[in-house]
Structure 1
Amino acid sequence: MHHTGGPGWRITMDTCAPMLVALYLRDVAGLVGAGTPALSHVAPSVTAADHSMLTADVGGNDALRDQWEVWWSRLLQNVPGNQQKLTPPDFPEMAGMPALQLVAHAHFGAAMNWSREQSQLYSLMAAQRETMGGHKILADLVQNREMELGRSARDFTLTIVEVPLAEQRAWFLEPDRLIMSSHLIDDQEVFRSYVQPVVELLV
C-alpha cells in the first residue's frame, strides 16, 4: 500500500485480494464483459472452462453471470473498506447465489493461489516503486493543479485499486475511486491521461 498526501488530501494505491479472487472466477467462468465497469481480462490470463453442466440445475450461465455481477457490485461498494473473504466450503458470503457458489467451490483453491501470487508480485512491485520514487507523479499532479488554481487543494481522498489486467487503463468510480491496471503507472504519460482529470475534479 502506498499513501501520498498533503494538508487535507490523500491518495492511496493498493491491490485488493477479494477483487483478485472475483476476477479469477469471472475469467475461469468465461464471463467476458461481465460487471460494471466491464474490466478487461486478467494478465496473466486464466483459461476459461465450460460450467454449463455444473450450473444447469441452478439457472445455468445466465444465472452465473447475474450472480457474479451482484457479488462484484458488492465488492466495489466496500472498496476500500472491509472486504469479505470467502469462507469455504459453503461460501455464505454468496448466499442466494447457488450458481456462483458452485463455481467458487470448484475453483476456490486455484483462485486463492492465483490471488496470493498476484498479491505477492504486487507487493514486490510496490516496494520497487517506493525505492525508485515511482509514486512522485501523484503529488506532482496535485501540486500542478494547485498552481493552476492559485489555491490549496480541497480536502479529498482518492483510492486507486490496482489489479493485473491485460488492458492498460483505468476506470473511474464516482466519487473518489479508480480501478487501474497494475502496470499503468509504468507508462507515466498514459497514467497521467487517466488520473489527471480525476485529480482536477477533486482538487
Structure 2
Amino acid sequence: MAAGGPEWVVREDASIPVLVALYLRQALGIRFPEELPHLRGAAPTASDPGEGESRGADADADADALADALERQWRTYWDMTVEPLAHRSTVPLDLIDGFDTYVALPVEGFDELAAAVAPHGPAAVAFAKGAAERYQERAKSEARSGGSTYRAYASAIAQHERAAGRRAHSFELNVQVLPFEQRGVWWIGALTVAVTDGLRGDIVAFDAAIAPVIAELA
C-alpha cells in the first residue's frame, strides 16, 4: 500500500479453524457452500445426512429434519469461522471437546451440529494443522527466494490500475490458501476469498485468477 494514497490490506493465511470447518463439512456430507470443492486428503466424503435407503415415512421425515437442522446450523458456524468479527453470536460460545480451541458453537440451538461433529475432532485437527504447516513452509520458502505476500498482490493491483486508468480504491481482502481438489478462487465471505494452494503457487495463473477479485474491491 502506498503512503499518502489509497490504502489496501491483504491478509493471507491457511487458517486452522477454517480448515477444520471444511474437513467437518466433508465428513458430514454438507454441501454448503455448494460451489466449494472438497479438500485433498481429508475425510472420505459422506452422503448427505438425509440420504440413504428408504426407512419409512417417519424415519425419512426425521432424517430430512436432521439434514435441514445441520445445514442451517452449519451456515451460521461457517460464517462465524470465516469472518468472526462480522458474525458475532448473540449467546455465549462453548468449545467442543476434541477440537482444542478451534471449534466453538453457540450454547443454544446447535445441539445437532455439536453431536454430529464430536467424533471427528482429532482427525479434523490433525488434518488442519498439517495443511497449515505446509502453507507456512511454502510462505517461508517464498520469502527466502525473495518473494513476498505483498508482491503477489501488488502485481495484480498494478495491473488493475493500468486497466482502470486510476489508482486503486482503499480495500481489505482476506485470502485463505487451501488444499482443494480443484484449482480456483471462490468468495467465502464479504471480504474473504479461498484460493487453491496449487494456484497460489503459480504466479502467472494466480495473477489472472485474482484479478477479478481485485477489480471488484478496488
Indicate whether the TM-score tops 0.5.
yes
Aligned mates of 2:85, 2:204 — CA distance in 1: 26
Residues in 2 aligned to 1:86 and 1:17: alpha-carbon distance in whole angstroms:
18
1:120 to 99, 120, 133: 133
Where does structure 2 lack aligned partners over 5 or more consecutive residues?
Answer: 51-61
Does residue 176 in structure 1 map to residue 191 in structure 2? yes
Q: Distance in 2 between matches of 1:179 and 1:151?
A: 27
Partner SS, residue 180 of structure 1:
strand
Q: Does 1:198 align with 2:213?
A: yes
Letter in 1 for 2:105: E
Shift of 1:67: 2.0
Q: Secondary structure at the match of 2:83?
A: helix
Provide the rounded CA distance (Å) in 2 between the counterparts of 1:44 and 1:69. Answer: 23
Closer, same or farther: CA 76–92 of 1 in aligned 2, 3 Å: closer
- Structure 1 unaligned regions, length at least 5: none
1:6 equivalent in alignment to 2:12: no
Give the alignment of 1:1-203 within 5 angstroms: 5-7=1-3, 8-31=7-30, 33-35=31-33, 38-49=35-46, 59-78=65-84, 87-89=95-97, 93-95=105-107, 96-132=109-145, 133=147, 135=149, 136-172=151-187, 175-203=190-218
Counting matched residue pairs gives: 194
> Which SS does the other structure have where 2:116 is aligned?
helix
TM-score by length of 1: 0.78
Aligned residues of 2:15 and 2:176 also touching (Cα < 8 A): yes
What is the SS of the residue equivalent to 1:201? helix
| In 1: Cα distance, 2:131 partner to 2:85 partner | 18
Distance 2:78 2:87 in 1: 14
Residue 76 of structure 1: how far off its partner (Å): 2.9
1:145 is paired with a residue whose SS is helix
Q: Give the conservation status (yes or no) of the 8 Å contact 1:58–1:98.
A: no
The whole-number CA distance in structure 2 between the counterparts of 1:134 and 1:59 is 48
SS for the counterpart of 1:93 is strand
Deviation at 1:26, TM superposition (A): 0.9
Q: Deviation of residue 61 (structure 1)?
A: 3.2
RMSD: 3.3
Rounded to whole Å, the distance in 1 between the matches of 2:131 and 2:162 is 38
TM-score for the superposition, normalised by structure 2: 0.73
Q: Distance in 2 between matches of 1:159 and 1:92?
A: 21
How far did residue 127 of structure 1 move?
1.1
One-letter amino acid of the structure 2 residue matched with residue 46 of structure 1: A
Q: Distance in 2 between matches of 1:182 and 1:38?
A: 17
2:168 is paired with a residue whose SS is: coil
Preserved CA contact (<8 Å) 2:83 2:189: no
Between the two proteins, what is the percent identity of the paired residues?
22
Give the distance between the partners of 2:177 and 2:94, measured in 1 at CA. 20
Taking the aligned partners of 1:196 and 1:49, their CA distance within structure 2 comes to 34
